[in-house]
Amino acid sequence: MPVYNRERYVVSALRSLVRQRDATDLDIIVIDDGSTDGSAEAVRSFMGESACIRLFHQSNMGVAKARNAGLRQLPPGCEFVSFLDSDDISVAGRFKADLACFVAKPGLELTYSLMTLADRIDDETLEPTADSRTMTLRGISLGTAVFRRELIERTGQFDEAFEQSEDTDYLLRIFETGPNYALLDTVAIYYRRHGANATREHGDRLRNHLRAIHKSMRRRKADPSLREAPGIFELKSPANWQMM
């Protein structure tokens, strides 16, 4: 979990993970990317309640480098890897459900689930409130994936040239190689829409996204064995809405 100035949300994100300790032996790696607010203190105080969190600090270098710093901390015995952004919520029971798929299908390398965007989340129940707007889709989110460790090793680092859309680039790199994946119709994360989402500056966001697509096209041109990623990303609900 990379964290940059999310003192308001980070403990909820961590709680959503820690409550799933019954599903697996969790090792939660938090990379504080040079936060200037109370994020690190908030994490540290919560660590008193849970021994499975490890906190590392770096000066502010951006999310791609923070994710790579986290990957470098994976312990030797780790079999599965997932990500959670510090303002999102891991849905109760998702690790249990995902890991059961890996048991049922030994060759499986990746589960990829749905995400629900929500603008109001109850920090006690860790569920969207009754009056929250929600939208459920299979989008770009590392948090909806559980990766077998070998797939992470094979894919390599996040491209640190990206200020954002490093997740798009990473997931396209993975899907292009044709991994053995399962698309699950369960919601794995609540993606919190709030005033400070990192992905709101439209010009930068668009340019980073176009760069990820460009890199994908260039890879496929250079290596025809790579493939497109059709049928993965889709809007699930509400079904009767469309983008303006």
Partner 1 sequence: MRQPDVYAVASKDIVFESFDGDAVVLDLSTGKYFGFSDSGSGVWQALSSGVSAAALAETGAIASAELATFIARLLEFGLLAPADTAPNPLPGDLISQLAAAREPLSVDVHDDLADLIVVDPIHEVDEPLGWPAVKQAN
213 is a site residue for partner 1 (CB under 8 A): yes
202 is a site residue for partner 1 (CB under 8 A): yes
If the CB atoms of residues 100 and 229 are measured against partner 1, the closer one turns out to be: 229
Least distance CB 135 / partner 1 (angstroms): 7
Nearest to 148 by CA among 185, 189, 180, 104: 180
Which sign, positive or negative, has the C-alpha torsion 160, 82, 216, 204?
A: negative
For residues 110 and 183, the answer to whether their CB atoms sit within 8 Å is no
**Segment near partner 1 (CB under 8 A); pick from 23-31, 36-44, 148-156, 195-203:** 195-203
Question: Which position among 105, 180, 233, 237 is part of the footprint of partner 1 (CB under 8 A)?
Answer: 233
Q: What is the DSSP letter of 142?
A: G
22 is a site residue for partner 1 (CB under 8 A): no
161 is a site residue for partner 1 (CB under 8 A): no
**Which residues from 174-193 bind partner 1, rule CB under 8 A?**
193
DSSP result, 71-112: HHT--TT--EE----TT-EEPTTHHHHHHHHHHH-TT--EEE
**Which residues from 88-147 bind partner 1, rule CB under 8 A?**
117, 119, 133, 135, 137-140
Tell me the C-alpha distance between 217 and 219, whole Å. 5
Q: Of how many residues is the chain composed?
A: 244
Q: Which residues bind partner 1 (CB under 8 A)?
A: 117, 119, 133, 135, 137-140, 193-195, 197, 199-200, 202, 205-207, 209-211, 213-214, 217-218, 221, 228-235, 240-244
